[in-house]
């Protein structure tokens, strides 16, 4: 069990991460945030920041890791919901759109830093995307009996489509987001059907 001091330190660290997430927007990427702004939002003195993070880069990398983990956890929940009945693609897309609506900045940090100027940030986002692809490839291989190569190719295509749709959906009105989600479901099903057809052709050579 954590001591009181450790609990307080973790609480302050959490407040700093939340403060930085809260300040992200379509117009503001992480690189435009200042240490003072984040500290002020978290209600701590700027000098106290360094007890929790070495610098703003370390805070940003923590946010990238957290953003990727949060999204992966939500997508796992979507797949679990689908196991109870329903289309795994439809439910996964709906779950993803729910995350974008309730916590858009979790995705925004990945989107902004994926093509940002910082090499460590780009590498961190690339790792998170690789986690998505790898997890989805294993799931696809296990549930559809795809070959590892085909499962990987399908997962890469699905993740690319989902990320591109997420980028477009972030600042859309709800009605437009619904139209986009319906289109995304069709696109993902086309990829899945194409992979299934290709698998069958390979088996009957």
- The residue among 101, 98, 103 whose CA lies nearest residue 81 is 98
Q: What is the pTM of this model?
A: 0.88
The band of 2, judged by pLDDT with boundaries at 50, 70 and 90, is low
CB atoms within 10 A of CB 56: 16
Specify the length of the chain in residues: 205
pLDDT tens per residue, range 65-108: 999 999 999 888 888 888 887 889 999 999 999 999 999 999 99
Kindly list the structural domains of the chain, giving each domain's residue range(s) and its CATH number in brackets, ordered by start: 61-203 (1.10.357.10)
User: Cα separation of 27 and 164, whole Å?
Assistant: 18
């Amino acid at each position: 069990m954590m001591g009181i001091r450790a609990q307080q330190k973790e609480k302050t660290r959490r407040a700093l991460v939340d403060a930085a997430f809260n300040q992200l927007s379509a117009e503001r990427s992480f690189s435009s945030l200042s240490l003072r702004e984040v500290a002020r939002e978290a209600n701590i003195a700027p000098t106290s920041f360094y007890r929790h993070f070495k610098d703003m880069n370390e805070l940003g990398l923590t946010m990238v890791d957290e953003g990727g983990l949060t999204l992966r956890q939500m997508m796992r929940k979507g797949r679990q919901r689908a196991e109870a009945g329903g289309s795994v693609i439809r439910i996964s897309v709906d779950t993803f759109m729910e995350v974008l609506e309730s916590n858009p900045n979790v995705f925004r940090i990945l989107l902004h830093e994926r093509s940002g100027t910082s090499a460590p940030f780009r590498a961190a986002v690339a790792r998170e995307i690789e986690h998505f692809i790898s997890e989805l490839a294993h799931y696809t291989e296990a549930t559809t009996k795809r070959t590892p190569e085909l499962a990987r190719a399908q997962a890469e295509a699905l993740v690319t489509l989902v990320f591109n749709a997420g980028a477009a959906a972030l600042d859309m009105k709800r009605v437009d987001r619904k139209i986009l989600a319906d289109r995304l479901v069709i696109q993902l099903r086309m990829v899945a059907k194409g992979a299934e057809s290709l698998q069958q052709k390979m088996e009957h050579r």
